[in-house]
Amino acid sequence: MKTKWIMFAAVIFSLCLKNAVLASNEQEFLWGVATSAHQIEGGDIPSDWYEFEKQGKAPDGSTTEKAVDGYNLAFEDIKLLKELGVNSYRFSIEWARVEPENNKFDEAALKHYHDLIVALKNNGITPVVTLHHFTNPKWIADKSSWTNKETANEFVEYARKIIDQNNNDVTYWITVNEPNVFLSYSYIFGNFPPYKKKDILVYKKAIENVFEAHRQIYRYIHEKNNKAQVSIAYNFSDFKPKTYRLIDVLSARICNYAYSWYWTDQVKNEMDFVGINYYFSRYVGLDYPFSSQYYKYTDVSEWNQWPQNIQPEGLEHITLMAHNRYKKPIIITENGLPDKDDDKRPDFIKNHIEALNTAKSKGVEINGYFYWSLMDNFEWWGGYKDKYGLYEVDYNTMKRRPRPSAFYYRDLIMNYQKNENLSLPTY
Ligand code: IFM
């Protein structure tokens, strides 16, 4: 009888402990990694990007037919997260998969994402859920995508479905990833679907529709859960003057405004934190973007499309600027490097974390850091050549193998969590 009581008490105690750990997890500094559905899952056939890839328009003619089999291996991949010791995972839900036809929701896909969220939580990993990461369902593309006002409503409908199902389990939501990038490539540079070039009016309409959808979703999530943390993940670049001439200084200011603040200002009342995706900085002058001299090379990665600066100080500067402008907490929602030999990545991570430490010592509230990416994946500009992964993927067997930087990141996280003299880990 006594043993029974002891066992009963032990079960209750372990349940309480687990809940306490999960609850406290949500307050911890978020140490994480990020991915997106289309880039890893494979089989995202009802999407506009898949259509684009089928026409041979993606880099190297590659397709995401298999990608890195992330949909089938989603639950297996939780082991990688555990191995890294991260306490959070940023991933996206694929609209096209969940709603392959207008108003026809795929119950199996909805269940898959819900189960993934629950499985992450059961493993002590906080899910950070992105609702839109570059791709649209094909039926949305057929209705002229984001230039159509209806798309905002359709997106809100889809988002509500996801939120209704998961709002008890998700605190952190990113409505849209890098609208400043995907809309510019879709409507100005013309190399993302629907390939419109320099169509400023259409571009402006698309921006308005994305922000309108964001605002509605922001309000909807907060009606359901007033503790939720909702934002957009923007791509930030630190534009610096290439000389101290007034004209270059002005150009840098204009670029910073056009690239970043123009976008973030529009939803400053509808973001609970500033989501920063940071990769590199740029040196600019009046001639930007026509000059080929606007990069000051410090250390250059193997990024496919153009040489990429490795400049952690740019991240420090951006976080300071964002802090001064909005006085809101900041989460680094992406930061990473394509480095197949893995010889620059450990330093890249360390230096960017140190830059955040410096920003923090200057009063910036930083609540999380997500390395891009958990594993190699399909890159919008580089196909499968750009290797951002902490885990290398063998594209034939789909086996994941940790690169040395995976262990480096794991040890760094452990170090920060143990050593109270370092200021970053808890807040
Ligand atoms: O892979 C992309 C991601 O989808 C958006 N941010 C930049 C990453 C690296 O190019």
pLDDT tens for 275-299 read 999 998 888 877 765 554 444 445 5
Q: From the CA of 379, how far away is ligand 1's center (Å)?
A: 7
379 DSSP assignment: B
CA dihedral 79, 81, 83, 87 (to 10 degrees): -130
**Domain extents for the chain?**
28-418
Ligand 1 pocket test target in 334, 381, 385 with most atoms within 8 Å of CB: 334
Q: Is the pLDDT of residue 232 over 70?
A: yes
Answer whether 36 contacts ligand 1 (Cβ < 6 A): yes
252 against 273, higher pLDDT:
273
Q: Give the residue, by CA position, lying nearest to ligand 1 atom 10.
A: 379
Q: From the CA of 405, how far away is ligand 1's center (Å)?
A: 19
Residue 296 has a pLDDT of 46
- Mean pLDDT for 409-419 is 89
Ligand 1 pocket test target in 94, 278, 380 with most atoms within 8 Å of CB: 380
Answer whether 372 contacts ligand 1 (Cβ < 6 A): yes
Task: Please tell me whether residue 239 adopts helix, strand or coil conformation.
Answer: strand
Residue 302 has a pLDDT of 61
Q: Give the residue, by CA position, lying nearest to ligand 1 atom 1.
A: 379
Q: From the CA of 227, how far away is ligand 1's center (Å)?
A: 28
Tens-digit pLDDT profile for residues 190-213: 989 998 888 899 999 999 999 999
Ligand 1 atom with minimal separation from the 377 CA: 1
Write down the CATH superfamily of domain 28-418.
Glycosidases (3.20.20.80)
Q: How far apart are CA 384 and CA 375, in angstroms?
A: 11
Answer whether 334 contacts ligand 1 (Cβ < 6 A): yes
Answer whether 376 contacts ligand 1 (Cβ < 6 A): no
Residue 154 has a pLDDT of 98
Contact 140, 48 (CB under 8 A): yes
| CA angle centred on 281, ends 275 and 286, rounded to 5° | 120
Catalytic residue among 99, 178, 270, 379: 178
420 against 383, higher pLDDT:
383
Residue 421 pLDDT level (bands cut at 50, 70, 90): low
> Any catalytic annotation for residue 178?
yes
Residue 297 has a pLDDT of 46
Q: Is the pLDDT of residue 121 over 50?
A: yes
Residue 227 has a pLDDT of 96
Residue 299 has a pLDDT of 54
Residue 27 has a pLDDT of 61
Q: Is the pLDDT of residue 14 over 90?
A: no
| CA angle centred on 283, ends 277 and 284, rounded to 5° | 110
Residue 333 pLDDT level (bands cut at 50, 70, 90): very high
Answer whether 277 contacts ligand 1 (Cβ < 6 A): yes
Ligand 1 pocket test target in 35, 379, 386 with most atoms within 8 Å of CB: 379
Q: Is the pLDDT of residue 300 over 90?
A: no
Residue 306 pLDDT level (bands cut at 50, 70, 90): very low
Answer whether 178 contacts ligand 1 (Cβ < 6 A): yes
Residue 164 pLDDT level (bands cut at 50, 70, 90): very high
Residue 419 has a pLDDT of 75
Mean pLDDT of the chain: 89
Cα 327 to Cα 29, 125, 235, 323, distances in angstroms: 18, 27, 19, 5
Task: Please tell me whether residue 7 adopts helix, strand or coil conformation.
Answer: helix
Element (H, E) at 301: strand 300-301
Q: How far apart are CA 400 and CA 389, in angstroms?
A: 10
Ligand 1 atom with minimal separation from the 338 CA: 9
Residue 7 pLDDT level (bands cut at 50, 70, 90): low
Q: From the CA of 341, how far away is ligand 1's center (Å)?
A: 19
Ligand 1 atom with minimal separation from the 379 CA: 1
Answer whether 175 contacts ligand 1 (Cβ < 6 A): no
Residue 289 has a pLDDT of 58
Ligand 1 atom with minimal separation from the 382 CA: 10
Residue 20 pLDDT level (bands cut at 50, 70, 90): very low
- Mean pLDDT for 368-395 is 96
Task: Please tell me whether residue 23 adopts helix, strand or coil conformation.
Answer: helix
Q: Is the pLDDT of residue 6 over 90?
A: no
Residue 424 has a pLDDT of 56
Q: Is the pLDDT of residue 216 over 70?
A: yes
| Tokens 């609208």 -> residue | 179
Q: Picking from 92-106, 148-162, 236-250, which range would have the lowest pLDDT averaged per residue?
A: 236-250
- Mean pLDDT for 86-105 is 98
Strand bridging mode 88-92 / 366-372: unpaired
pTM (global) more than 0.75: yes
Residue 243 has a pLDDT of 84
Q: From the CA of 352, how far away is ligand 1's center (Å)?
A: 17
Burial 193-218, CB ≥16 within 10 A → b, else e: bbebeebeebbebbbebbbbbbbbbb
Answer whether 182 contacts ligand 1 (Cβ < 6 A): no
The DSSP string of 94-127 is -HHHH-SBTTB--HHHHHHHHHHHHHHHHTT-EE
Q: Is the pLDDT of residue 146 over 90?
A: yes
Q: How far apart are CA 24 and CA 21, in angstroms?
A: 5
